[in-house]
Amino acid sequence: MRTKTLLLVAAAAAAGIVSSQAQVYSVNAVGYVNKTIPKNGFALISNPLKAATNTIPALFGTMLPDGSQVYSWNTTTKGYDIASYSTDFGWDMPAALAAKQFDPQASGGGFFVHNPSSSDVTVTFVGEVPQGNLSTALVPGFQIVSSQVPQAGTATALGYVAAAGDQIYQWDSSKQAYTPYQYDVDFGWSPDLGTLAVGDAFFLSKTAAGTWSRTFSVNQ
């Protein structure tokens, strides 16, 4: 059975792009995903596709309004590295953040995006759907993570295997607040995990290092 996704798929054998706002079935490994950043608010999102270059300037270009910021969690300093965008001067950020690749399997592969304008903003990620044996390294403590493939579902449905003491903090863009979840080996997740949309990221807290591994094909 083909995998149901929210991808807007670009068919390699066809001229043009299949565009629809409804859910579609992926027919090959190339496509694009739109994510909305709410007006005067934050969204916790990820780049769910693999492009040739996956840095912040390459991914966002000039799509964001003046004064926008992208916050990347630094697991070493336990704080945010910040990229700021100006329509006059472009991107300004620390050199290490400018070089960081935000591909779907990257540890810390998501980011907060702040939209200071009075209108919602849509950003578009373009690239290949990761396939094969996929593995994301996880560190003790807090980190931002996301699904390794562009699918919607709970973290469990997307292949994450929880360990004792795991905590998930899922950002609700409409409420501008977190929903926390705690994992217990006897009782599972409390409360039941919420659904992640395609391209959503979340904070994960672990007591010990681990991996998020998954084998995926668009023909599943």
**pLDDT tens figures, 5-54:** 333 333 332 223 233 333 334 445 888 999 999 999 999 999 999 999 99
Average pLDDT of the residues in 190-209: 97
Q: Closest Cα partner for 146 from 163, 133, 159?
A: 159
Q: Residue 116 above 80 pLDDT?
A: yes
> Could you tell me what percent of the chain has a pLDDT over 70?
85
Q: Closest Cα partner for 130 from 107, 110, 103?
A: 103
23-32: long-range contacts, CB 8 A cutoff, minimum separation 24: 26/2, 26/129, 26/218, 27/2, 27/218, 28/218, 29/128, 29/129, 29/131, 29/218, 30/127, 30/128, 30/129, 31/7, 31/126, 31/127, 31/129, 31/150, 32/7, 32/8, 32/124, 32/125, 32/126, 32/127
What DSSP designation does 38 have?
Answer: P
Strand 41-46: give its sheet, edge to edge. 41-46, 110-115, 69-74, 79-86, 90-92
Q: Are 158 and 92 in contact (CB under 8 A)?
A: no
> Could you tell me what percent of the chain has a pLDDT over 90?
79
Q: How far is CA 123 from the centre of its chain?
A: 12
Report the pLDDT value the prediction gives residue 144, as an integer from 0 to 100. Answer: 96
User: In whole angstroms, what is the distance from residue 51 CA to residue 48 CA?
Assistant: 10
Residue 163, SS3? coil
Report the pLDDT value the prediction gives residue 210, as an integer from 0 to 100. Answer: 95
Whole-number average pLDDT of the chain? 87
Q: Closest Cα partner for 125 from 206, 53, 204, 28?
A: 53
Q: For 24-38, 147-161, 179-193, which range has the lowest pLDDT when averaged over its residues?
A: 24-38
Name the pLDDT band for 108 (thresholds 50, 70, 90): low
Q: For 30-34, 113-117, 142-146, which range has the lowest pLDDT when averaged over its residues?
A: 30-34
At 170, the amino acid letter reads Q
Average pLDDT of the residues in 162-182: 97
Q: Closest Cα partner for 27 from 39, 17, 35?
A: 17
Q: Are 196 and 184 in contact (CB under 8 A)?
A: no
Q: Are 113 and 47 in contact (CB under 8 A)?
A: no
Largest CA distance in the chain: 55
Q: Residue 63 above 50 pLDDT?
A: yes
Classify each residue of 8-23 as buried b or exposed e, where b means 16 or more C-beta atoms within 10 Å of its C-beta.
Answer: bbbeeeeeeeeeeeee
Range with the largest mean pLDDT of 14-28, 99-113, 123-137, 183-197? 183-197
